Amino acid sequence: MTTLGAIFPPDLPPERLRAVALAADEAGLEQLWVWEDCFKESGVAAAAAVLAWTERLTVGIGLLPVPLRNVALTAMEVATLERLFPGRLVPGVGHGVLEWMAQVGARAESPMTLLREYTDALRRLLHGERVTTSGRYVQLDDVALDWPPSPPPPLLVGAVRERTVALAGELGDGVILTGETTVEAMGEAMPHLRRGRKEAGRDGDGDVVVFMAVDGAFEPEPVASRVREFADAGATHVILHAVGDGPSLEDVVRIVAQDVRPLVD
């Protein structure tokens, strides 16, 4: 069954988050996702607040921009949240918007190299390994978490181009595809995801998270129809992003949980 969720976009002020999170938890929404866009809101801080306010809601972070964050710090933050709220966190990492990374002096000359080194080190740290590595961008000297999560949360990688999709399959537990992804584009991405997993000796497709924009009125049947199309193409999670004029986000999470969900099932 495809998991459904909604996005709390960082163009809303953070003080709106609590009401949306409580509405989502009360309605039975499966997942609420937060973003870490420069220079708006911290994904980790927002996720921590939602997890603390709610009882059952799973929280996704899409995405943590790797040029902006030391990998050991990200591992500490993710491990802490996972141990505090077991099984309710889905972190995602990605290149970040390159122009924003340049604004803070963090743009990498080779974003792919950085993402590869970072994802590998982060995954190993979260799995309780002691890591020493001297890469082009990631350097760790005998680093291990004192409190690694057991089991670790799934680690997803945001991707657009085929090389990054393949990397998500190789090193991540799945891929996050952006809101501009069509059903056709998702179908084209799936072979690259499978290739990456096969080359790493891993079975299956892993998690496939699609951010799906919904413009205007949030009519359940048309929304559910599009969700089913993504599910048929291989999406394991469809996360809805309400854009334009339409219901409040509090109403959106209720509609997704109570009206769209039964139509998708």
What gap in Å lies between CA 99 and CA 92, rounded to an integer? 20
Whole-prediction pTM value?
0.96
Which pLDDT score is estimated for 187?
93
- The neighbour count for residue 215, using CB atoms within 10 Å, is 11
Please report where in the chains the tokens 């927002």 appear, as a residue: 46
Residue 17 is encoded by which pair of tokens?
Answer: 């988050």
**End-to-end CA, the chain:** 7
What gap in Å lies between CA 119 and CA 157, rounded to an integer? 8
Averages of pLDDT over runs of 10 residues in the chain (265 residues) are: 96 97 98 95 97 98 96 98 98 95 96 98 98 98 98 96 96 90 93 95 92 94 97 97 94 98 95
Q: Residues with Cβ < 8 Å from 85, sequence gap 6 or more? A: 51, 52
Q: Which long-range contacts (CB under 8 A, 24 or more apart) does 139-142 make?
A: 140/71, 140/72
Which pLDDT score is estimated for 6?
98
Query: Going from the N-terminus, what domains does the chain have, and what CATH number goes with each?
Result: 3-264 (3.20.20.30)
What residues pair up with 239 in beta bridges, in sequence order?
5, 211
**Burial of 204 from C-beta contacts in 10 A (0-12 / 13-18 / 19+):** exposed
In SS3 terms, 30-83 reads as CEEEECCCCCCCCHHHHHHHHHHHCCCCEEEEEEEEHHHCCHHHHHHHHHHHHH
Which pLDDT score is estimated for 180?
80
Which pLDDT score is estimated for 204?
85
What gap in Å lies between CA 157 and CA 170, rounded to an integer? 10
Q: Rounded to 5 degrees, what are φ and ψ at 64?
A: -85, 115
